Structure 1
Amino acid sequence: MDSVLAETSLNVMYFGEDEDVNENEEEADSVIVDTEKCAKLNYNKNIAAFIEKREMMSNIKPLECSNILIENITSNYIIVKQIISNLSWQDKAMCKLVCSNWYSAVQTLQKEQISPEDFVIDLCYSLRSGGGKGWFKKSGIFYTEPLVILTFANTAGFCAVSKCKVIQPRPCEQHCEKEHCLMDLINFHVNAPKNCMMTVKANYLVYRPLAHSNTYGHSITHYKYTWTNPFIAGIFIPKIPDVSFQVLNIRSQNSLQQEFYDVVDKLSKDHIIKGVLVYVTEKYLLNSVEDIVFLNYFKDVQPNVPYALGGCIVEDTMSENSDINLLVDSVNEGADFISENLLSIGLFTIPKKSNNNEYNFEMYSFIIESSDWDKPKIQESVTEFSKKVPRFEHSIALKLSCVGRDRKHVLEQDCFRAAFPNTPIVGCYGNGELGIHHPARPEPEALPNAIKRHRRDPGPQFGIMYSYSTVFVYIGWGKIISPQGPL
């Protein structure tokens, strides 16, 4: 018991600014050091003992205090719950092992502390502020174990390393003389010892935390001028009762049957698919847009249940802890890490026999199409969507856009932020977007005074694959603050 208690005890704004910060590239190179000595981070002793299910012998001397006080703290449920509520999810996992009273407190807190948090590593910010340190920042404490960690890294950040002594917070108990991979650092602070991080590698990123967050100073709209400096950002979605997340990594077009169809068939027997994230890597050669039509199978397995879908073509993906080890090995060998993934598909599901979706988990998506180019059209598209979507106590948004939309990025994000002021935005840019409208939009001919459009080939690929477009995926859960946006 005592050993457990002892162990658990320059503002840069890239909102479309024209300033070219490549002048810092030489400084950045001094932070990205010799990669021959990159070391994999080890779990803290208490985490390692927890994973290995062994007792940890601690040399820490327990505090001397009244036995009555200790008894009150360890046995009084209200006091225990209040104390444990301030701990991170890794520490909570170990507190569950103390006694049944502590276990119950942790279980209750996991149902109450379900707010998302965002995080960032921004070496460009550190250099401009004069620190030159590999800062890891997060908007708040990760109170509940993660459901999924959606991470986006630019090309420079994906394989970047930094000396242990310049990284804050300190990754090792005592600063070592080696370098650490920044993606490994994210895994260490956010994901470990779970295996639920889905990482996307893309040249250009978007990261828009909330204005009151201490990560807000790292906000970027598309990193146009600073893409050569390491940048990693993401969203931590906590475990939500009755909600599951699963990643399908498709490594061959010939394996679609067992890696996609069979898995979706089995999953759909007992689960409802609420949302789908699709990241197509550059290794998946699209001879035509029809090569992506297999995604319509989600509609076949639940024809009467709508779902959200969003994605884009990216450089690479990574979704397993073992990939981190391969990444570190590649860095040491001076080689680029390249996964075997052709596509990575993330599925959010709830059981069909759930308690009537007690936590109101929902996902929605919509597309700002290539024809929506001017401000009124963009505003109209966002407004139309916002009127149909409830406002949740907790929410996040993914923006997956074509890099070719250029200066429309800021406008789109500002419009979305105005409609959903309490929703952090994160995402990336590619050269091809995937999405569906959920809630469904009326066909153009159903709108008053609309011009009827004629398509040469009205095949099933239409409505999935787009170009020069932007897809927003909105994820909400918890109490419904209002049934829909302002009319």
Structure 2
Amino acid sequence: MAEINCEHVNDEENMNSSDSECTSTEENMGRGVQDEDNMNSSDSEDTLTEENLVRCVQLQLPKHIAAYCEKKELIRVTQPMVCDTDLMEKVCNNYIIVKKILSNLEWQEKLLCKHVCSTWNSAIHTLNKEQLNATDFVLDLHFNSIKNGIRFKKSSDFSTEPLVVFAFVNTSGTNITSKCMSLLPHPCEPPCEKEHSLLDFVQQKVCGPKNCMFTVRADYLCYFPLNHSPTYKHTYTFDMFRRPRSIIGGISIPAIPDVKFNIINIKSNSDMEKDFYYEVRELSRERIFKGVLVYVTEKYLLHSVEDFFYLNYFKEAQPDIPYALGGCIVEDCIYDKNDIKLIIDGVNEGSDFISENLISIGIFSIPKSVVNSEGEKCNFDVYSLIIEAADWQKTKIQKNIDEFSKKIPRFEHSVALKLSCVGRDKKHELEQNYFRAAFPNTPLIGCYGNGELGINHPPRPVREEPPSRKRFRRDAGPQLGIIYSYSTVFMYFGWGKIISS
């Protein structure tokens, strides 16, 4: 049984990289990672066929995973091992031993193992309910030199099938490619001579063969892992805006019992009725909306706040149960695996990739039957907080976050998204630090855009300001509907046991 190896971060090795190495790395990235020191031409390279000279190729699934997905028999030439039959039978039938062994596998391998026998199947199902931790990951080219390889770093193993993977890539990182040999762990075994897209590499390592990576492209990102995480030193701060670097960061939320995540991609206004209203109406028949995530691309022109009033249809479909909503205007949104293929084609042709998506809406929902059954409740919820343009003072920002943290329950597992306006300047780090102080065990990730969408859930009291109050320079005045400017929207996702309420 093949193992999917994801090496942990070798902090000392990366910390020893000098500034000169980082600088040369950034200069050499562009559309492909190249380093003459590590690509010494040899006689074998001179004899490469024309097919092998393709600049960038899409990664293929491992043979055993591909065979499982396609329901094909995989014939392998193997050397049989001579084992004690009695001992092997005892090990295979011992539930405790099997569970301990299987707990160390990646979720893709568990897909195959659950078909071995009833004991293994039972152990896999139990592990899926126990291994519910979120895992953040990063490919940060600033901290890598080609000599050491481009290392894929993660906070823990991807032990459970993902429900959704939130991924964020900046503009300079979208079309980055690298030689197979330079990527650690190597996407191909043995490493091939071709180049691979780093976005494709991340998709394969995190959620392939499942198609659940919800990727956003934005100029500036927010990446704030936990202090004890191996990825913590890659925290992306406001100071780095002045010297942007190629980075792909994200976080994986595991599959949670009874919870579904649906995507609605709107490619034209004429598709609104079919793609949005119909899908929301059908979902609301059997399910309850817990959280709505909206990414609006810059191709969708905003004429007025009325352009987003259609999002109030969630309220019409679910008038009596509150839900969280957050969103941001971004450069582009990528969800379909075909988009990654188009990115690779664009790299080879020397053109930038821009999807046809105008609006991408992610919906978290739970079945109505779970809420209505006696003594049963799905331990998953989503909450959202808007820090408005008028909340410019440090004391107001801290007060709003503290009040929000006291109103919502604390879950055993949680992640948070920060969707903010670039124009809030140095308030970004301040907001991140206040949020971390209020939620010390919640990793934070997100991006900065040019307009925010949100709903306060739980609701905040209406502010009553004196008529003669002094207006802040960036105060955009009263907001209409759910769209804001110069604001920050936090979305908190929690699941598992409720630690405190």
Same fold per TM (> 0.5)? yes
Give the deviation of 1:29 after TM superposition: 4.5
Cα deviation, residue 246, structure 1: 0.5
**Mapped pair 1:224 → 2:223:** no
Paired residue secondary structure (2:379): coil
Distance 2:148 2:379 in 1: 43
Q: Is 1:451 the equivalent of 2:466?
A: yes
Q: Does 1:353 align with 2:369?
A: yes
**TM-score, scaled to structure 2:** 0.87
* Other structure's SS at 1:429 match: strand
Q: Residue 263 of structure 2: which of 238, 242, 247 is its match?
A: 247
Residue pair 1:436, 1:463 contacting (<8 A) in 2 also: no
Partner Cα separation in structure 1 for residue 267 and residue 491 of structure 2? 25
- The 1:137–1:73 alpha-carbon spacing in structure 2 relative to 1, beyond 3 Å, is same
Letter in 1 for 2:484: Y
Matched AA of 1:389: I
Q: Secondary structure at the match of 1:395?
A: strand
Please tell me whether residue 408 in structure 1 is matched to residue 459 in structure 2: no
1:190 is matched with which residue? 206
Aligned twin of 2:452: 433
Give the TM-score taking structure 1 as reference length. 0.90
- Structure 1 alignment gaps of length 5 or more: 14-20
User: CA 1:218–1:145 in 2, change beyond 3 Å: closer, same or farther?
Assistant: same
* Contact 1:95–1:103 under 8 Å retained in 2: yes
- Compared CA separation, residues 132 and 319, structure 1 to 2 (3 A): same
In structure 2, what is the equivalent of residue 26 of structure 1?
Answer: 27
Equivalent-residue separation in structure 2 for 1:349 and 1:451 (angstroms): 41
Q: Are the aligned partners of 1:435 and 1:463 in contact in 2 as well (CA < 8 Å)?
A: no
Q: Note if 1:238 corresponds to 2:254.
A: yes
Within a 5 Å distance, the mapping from 1:155-174 to structure 2 comes to: 155-174=171-190
What do residues 67-89 of structure 1 show as CA deviations (whole Å, max 9, x unaligned)? 11210122222221121111110
- Measure, in 2, the Cα distance between the counterparts of 1:151 and 1:316: 12
1:278 is matched with which residue?
294
> Residues 316-365 of structure 1, C-alpha deviation per residue, up to 9 Å, x if partnerless?
00111122212211111111111110000000000001265644101000
- 1:136-172 residue CA offsets vs partner (Å, 9 max, x unmatched): 1111111110000010000111111111111111110
Q: Residue 224 of structure 1: SS of its match in structure 2?
A: helix
Give 1:7 shift. Answer: 5.8
CA 1:66–1:24: 2 relative to 1, 3 Å: closer
Q: Structure 2 CA distance, aligned partners of 1:326 and 1:30?
A: 14
- Once the two structures are superposed, the pairs formed by residues 20-419 of structure 1 within 5 Å of their partners are 25-29=26-30, 32-33=33-34, 37-127=55-145, 131=147, 133-222=149-238, 223-227=240-244, 229-354=245-370, 358-419=377-438
| C-alpha distance in 1 between matches for 2:153 and 2:77 | 31
Specify the SS of the correspondent of 2:490. strand
Summarize deviations over 1:11-32 as a string: whole Å, max 9, x none: 899xxxxxxx877642444963
Equivalenced residue count is 462
Q: Is the 8 A contact 2:418 2:491 kept in 1?
A: yes
| Letter paired with 1:330 | G
Change (3 A) 1:131 1:404: farther
CA distance in 1, matches of 2:257, 2:417: 22
- Does the 8 A contact of 2:389 with 2:487 survive in 1? yes
Contact 1:148-1:237 within 8 A present in 2 as well:
yes
User: Letter of the aligned partner of 2:136 in structure 1?
Assistant: D
In structure 2, what is the Cα distance between the partners aligned to 1:452 and 1:107? 60
Structure 2 unaligned spans of 5+: 6-10, 16-21, 36-52, 470-476
CA contact (8 A) 1:310 1:473 kept: yes
Counterpart in the other structure of 2:473: none
Question: Which residue does the alignment assign to 1:17?
Answer: none
The letter of the residue matching 1:53 is: K
Identity, % of aligned positions:
55
**CA offsets per residue over residues 257-280 of structure 1, 9 Å max, x none?**
001001100000000000000000
RMSD: 2.4
Amino acid at match of 1:270: E
**Residues 196-205 or 367-376, more deviating:** 367-376
**Matched residue type, 1:210:** L
CA shift digits 1:214-259 (9 cap, x unpaired): 11111112440342x3200001000000000011000011211001
Tell me if structure 1 keeps the 8 A contact 2:260–2:364: yes
Residues 240 and 359 in structure 1, CA contact (< 8 A), matched pair in contact too? no
Which of the numbers 490, 495, 499 marks the counterpart of 1:472? 490
